[in-house]
Amino acid sequence: STMELTFLGTGSAYPSPSRGASCVILKMDDGSWMFDCGEGSQIQLQKSKVRAGKVNKIFISHLHGDHMFGLPGLLCTISGNNQRSEPLEIFGPVGLRRFIRTSLELSRTMLGFSYIVHEMKVLPCQIPPDVQKWKIEDSCNEQRLHPNERKGCLIEADSDNVWTLLSNDKISVKAVHLKHRIPSFGFCIQEAASPGKLDLSKLSLQGVKPGPWCKEVKEGRIVTLPDGRTIDPADVVGPPKPGRKVIIMGDTCNSSEIYTVGMDADVLVHEATLQNSLKDMALEKGHSTPGMAAEVGKDLRIRLLVLTHFSQRYMPVSDEYEEEETVSILVKEAQEIMGPNRVLAAEDFLSITIPLRP
C-alpha cells in the first residue's frame, strides 16, 4: 500500500517565488491527505503530480496564515475537479471552522461536495499570555452551517494529552501539542500492524497441508481441523509486521509532547526555520533550529528526519547559489547529531516514498 510524501511548500512566514508556504501531501491508498495549506498551495498542487480532486483529508497544524490562508481557494479548486461522494474532512485547532465558513460565505462560494471541520479543543497550557489577552471569537454559530457543511466534532485531548483524530483497523492519526506563539499541533500517522506470515514449514512439521482455514489462523484464531486437530496461530504464524509511522509537525520551539506517540517513526518532518547560531531568534519566534530538530529525531530513533519550513533566507540547493546560502548548512547541522544518512532538506515538489517495513 502507498505512503508517499510530497512537499508543495517548504518556506516559513510567507510564500515566495523560490519556496511555497507550508503544505505537504501524504498520498495514501484512499486518497491524498494534505497537511497545512499556506497561500498558493493550490498553484503548487497544479504544478505537481498530485490531483486536487484526490485530496480527501486536510490537517491544519495551527492557524498562522502561512499554514491556512490557501484553504478557501483550495476548496474552490477541489470543487472544480471533484470526484468524490464522501465529504472532505478537515481537522485543525478551534477557530478553523470559523475561518473556512466566513471565507466561503462572504465569497458566496458553493462547493460541488460537502465538507466537515473537526476542531481540536485547545488546552489552557497551549495559550500564551499575549494570546489570552487579545480576546477574539473563535467559535461559530452551530445553527447556521454553510450549505455544503456537515456538522463536525469537537475533539478533546485524552489524559495523556493526545488528540485522536482518526482511528480504524488500518490507520490512526493522533495529534500532540507543540510549543509555539499560538496553539500548534504535530500529527502522528500510524499504519496498523499487518498479520504475520503463515510458516508453511512449521505446518508441514505438524503433517498438515494448507487449506481455506489458513486465513482464519493468520487472523489470529485457533482453528479445529476436520480430523479434530487444532492449529494454534502462536505455533505457525510469525510475528505481526509493524505498520509504518510518519510524523508531520507544525511550527514548534519545543516538541517534547511528540515523545508520547512518536517513537521509532519512519519519517519525522520537523521545522528548522533558522540555523543553530540563530537559536535565540528562533526560540523568540517560536521556531526550531536543525540542532533542536535532530535531538528529537535522535531521541525518537527516527529513520529519516526531513527538515522544512525554512526561513526564506536559505535558498534551495542549486548551481545558482553558494553552498553557504542554501539549506545545506541546515542539513549539516542536523547531520552532526543524527549521522550522515538520516537527514534530508525538503524542497518544493520533493517526493519521498515510505517503504514497507521489512
Where do contacts with Zn ion occur on this chain (CB under 5 A)? 12, 64, 66, 251
Choosing from 55, 58, 182, 294, the residue that interacts with a copy of itself (CB under 8 A) is 182
CA distance linking residue 223 with residue 228, whole number of Å: 10
Type of residue at 187: F
Retrieve residue 345's grid coordinates: 532538506
What number of chain residues touch a copy of itself (CB under 8 A)? 43
Whether the CB-CB separation of 231 and 223 falls below 8 Å is answered with yes
Find the shortest distance in angstroms from Cβ 106 to a copy of itself.
5
188 in contact with a copy of itself (CB under 8 A): no
Find the shortest distance in angstroms from Cβ 302 to a copy of itself.
30
Backbone angles phi, psi at 29, to 5 degrees: -60, -35
Find the shortest distance in angstroms from Cβ 249 to a copy of itself.
19
Nearer to Zn ion, 36 or 191 (CB): 36
285 in contact with a copy of itself (CB under 8 A): no
Please pick, among 66, 251, 266, 348, the residue that the annotation labels catalytic.
66
Partner whose binding site includes residue 251, from a copy of itself, Zn ion, none (CB under 5 to 8 Å by kind): Zn ion
**Is-catalytic flag, 138?**
no
Across 229-260, b (16+ Cβ under 10 Å) vs e yields eebebeebbeeeeebbbbbbbbbbbebebbee
Partner whose binding site includes residue 215, from a copy of itself, Zn ion, none (CB under 5 to 8 Å by kind): none
Residues 108-147 that bind a copy of itself (CB under 8 A): 108-109, 131, 134, 136-138, 147
64 in contact with a copy of itself (CB under 8 A): yes
Find the shortest distance in angstroms from Cβ 184 to a copy of itself.
11
Find the shortest distance in angstroms from Cβ 23 to a copy of itself.
13
What is the C-alpha end-to-end distance of the chain, expressed in Å?
14
Residue found under cell 490557501: 70
Q: Strands, E, within the chain: which ranges?
A: 4-9, 23-28, 31-35, 55-59, 88-93, 115-120, 149-150, 154-155, 163-167, 171-178, 184-191, 223-224, 230-231, 245-249, 267-271, 304-308, 343-345, 351-353
Give the interface with a copy of itself as residue ranges (CB under 8 A): 13-17, 21, 39-40, 42-43, 46-47, 63-66, 68-70, 72-73, 76-77, 80, 95-96, 98-99, 102-103, 105-109, 131, 134, 136-138, 147, 181-182
Catalytic residue numbers, as ranges: 66
